[in-house]
């Protein structure tokens, strides 16, 4: 266990098909690092000497059959192994159900066979295996181990996915990628691709509904979490129906002064409404932020205010966050963080952070939170 408790980080296993011999694979291990410059530094510090004793579980499958699970103990930098049933049309999957604390990479041929399997019949792989594949693929691509098109091809099957975990793995990876690509000329290609994957499931699941007494019509927890995940993706990437629904719910709240927005999608609706509608909606949310005493609701309302497309309102909010009588110190750092996540406020937050550094640095809460959030 010293290898797992005393060494920094965790490994990535790479499984390569051996083209010179049937049923043989090459398994390598190395220290998994996201940052390319850190990788170079790690080599200089001889972190390449890191080794783990890794219990690699594997299965071999094709369109009609999946083998029983086998285990290989990987303890060297590179090893050769013979795998039963492995032929040209078979794919191999490692770290079954994500029970091991490591990532798994494959040669491009195996990735494409797995993508083909997901598209043809994703249920051959368990829910946790599907989620693990998505998470590994996006993380490996982010770290430079894998071309970016592989994870984006993996999620082509998502329109058929009915379980929460794979959707959650995909959305968790897509939001940071969206923030990187939104400044590029061809961003609309990426945006439309994600909307296409989301559309079918969004229509199928719909929005949560309230009973006549105002209580939420309950489905299973997993179903509600899936619905929330899909609605968030749809609204974030610009689905027109999602935008219209959020605007309608906000407008109904303002006109009736009765908040009938289902609790589990309030943060999505508030943020979408503030970004789409005029300054009056921002002022309404600001008023509700001051009048509510519920801590959780207050936090959601404050974050919604950072979703505005109006740079003047975002600047106003940043400056108001310095007044502890208006925004509590422990909440004020959230304003900077969330304005920075807004494409319209990214540069505003950075300028504010630099200009007000002396003030921010005097507050322990600010400085600790800024360090924590990086």
Residue 92 structural domain: 1-156
CA angle at residue 80 from 77 to 81, to 5 degrees?
Answer: 125
Give the per-residue pLDDT at 73.
96
pLDDT band for position 167 (cuts 50, 70, 90): very high
Within-domain flag for 271: no
The pLDDT of residue 231 is above 60: yes
Average pLDDT, the chain: 90
Report the distance separating Cα 347 and Cα 212, nearest Å. 45
CB neighbour list of residue 216: distance below 8 Å, 6 or more residues apart: 208, 209, 210, 262, 263, 264
Give the per-residue pLDDT at 374.
47
Report the distance separating Cα 14 and Cα 237, nearest Å. 33
Closest CA to 246 of 273, 266, 265, 286: 273
Within-domain flag for 137: yes
Of residues 323 and 46, more confidently modeled = 323
Within-domain flag for 43: yes
Within-domain flag for 173: no
Give the per-residue pLDDT at 211.
58
Give the per-residue pLDDT at 88.
79
Q: Compute, in degrees rounded to 10, the torsion defined by CA atoms 253, 259, 260, 261.
A: 90
Within-domain flag for 179: no
Give the per-residue pLDDT at 45.
55
Within-domain flag for 202: no
The pLDDT of residue 171 is above 80: yes
The pLDDT of residue 37 is above 80: no
Highest-confidence range of 35-39, 48-52, 179-183, 186-190, by mean pLDDT?
186-190
Give the per-residue pLDDT at 362.
76
E-strand spans in the chain?
Answer: 11-17, 24-31, 54-61, 70-74, 78-82, 91-94, 103-106
What's the whole-number mean pLDDT along residues 134-153? 96
Within-domain flag for 130: yes
Give the per-residue pLDDT at 21.
65
Give the per-residue pLDDT at 161.
97
Task: Give tens-digit pLDDT for 269-283.
Answer: 999 999 999 999 999
CB neighbour list of residue 314: distance below 8 Å, 6 or more residues apart: 306, 308, 339, 342, 344, 345, 348
Report the distance separating Cα 210 and Cα 177, nearest Å. 34
The pLDDT of residue 367 is above 60: no
Give the per-residue pLDDT at 35.
81
What's the whole-number mean pLDDT along residues 327-353? 90
Q: Into how many domains does the chain fold? A: 1
Give the per-residue pLDDT at 20.
60
Report the distance separating Cα 38 and Cα 26, nearest Å. 26
pLDDT band for position 170 (cuts 50, 70, 90): very high
Within-domain flag for 147: yes
Q: What is the CATH number of the domain that holds 78?
A: 2.60.40.1910
pLDDT band for position 372 (cuts 50, 70, 90): very low
CA angle at residue 45 from 44 to 49, to 5 degrees?
Answer: 100
Other beta carbons within 10 Å of 68: 8
Report the distance separating Cα 37 and Cα 201, nearest Å. 40
pLDDT band for position 326 (cuts 50, 70, 90): confident
């Amino acid at each position: 266990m010293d290898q797992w408790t005393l060494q920094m980080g965790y490994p990535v296993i790479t499984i390569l098909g051996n083209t010179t011999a049937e049923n043989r694979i090459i398994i390598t291990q190395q220290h998994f690092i996201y940052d390319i410059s850190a990788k170079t530094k790690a080599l200089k510090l001889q972190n390449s000497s890191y080794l783990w004793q890794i219990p690699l579980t594997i299965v071999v499958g094709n369109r009609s059959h999946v083998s029983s699970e086998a285990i290989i103990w990987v303890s060297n930098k590179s090893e050769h192994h013979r795998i039963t049933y492995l032929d040209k049309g078979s794919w191999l999957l490692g770290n079954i159900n994500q029970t091991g604390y490591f990532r798994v990479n494959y040669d491009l041929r195996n990735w494409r066979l797995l993508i083909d399997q997901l598209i043809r019949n994703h249920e051959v792989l368990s829910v946790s295996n599907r989620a693990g594949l998505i998470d590994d693929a996006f993380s490996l691509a982010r770290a430079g181990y894998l071309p970016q098109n592989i994870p984006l091809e993996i999620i082509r099957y998502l329109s058929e996915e009915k379980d929460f975990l794979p959707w959650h793995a995909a959305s968790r990876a897509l939001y940071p990628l969206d923030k990187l690509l939104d400044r590029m000329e061809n961003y609309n290609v990426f945006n439309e691709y994600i909307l296409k994957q989301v559309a079918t499931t969004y229509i199928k699941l719909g929005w949560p509904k309230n009973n006549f007494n105002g209580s939420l019509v309950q489905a299973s927890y997993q179903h509600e979490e899936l619905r929330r995940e899909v609605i968030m993706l749809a609204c974030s990437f610009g689905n027109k129906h999602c935008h219209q629904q959020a605007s309608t719910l906000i407008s109904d709240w303002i006109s009736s002064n009765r908040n009938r927005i289902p609790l589990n999608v309030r943060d999505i609706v508030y943020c979408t409404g503030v970004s789409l509608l005029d300054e009056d909606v921002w002022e309404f949310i600001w008023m509700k932020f001051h009048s509510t005493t519920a801590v959780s609701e207050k936090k959601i309302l404050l974050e919604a205010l950072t979703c505005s497309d109006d740079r003047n309102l975002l600047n106003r909010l940043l400056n108001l966050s310095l007044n502890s009588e208006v925004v509590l110190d422990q909440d004020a750092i959230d304003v900077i963080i969330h304005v920075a996540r807004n494409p319209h406020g990214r540069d505003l937050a950075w300028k504010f952070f630099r200009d007000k550094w002396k003030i921010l640095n005097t507050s322990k809460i600010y400085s600790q939170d800024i360090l924590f959030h990086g």
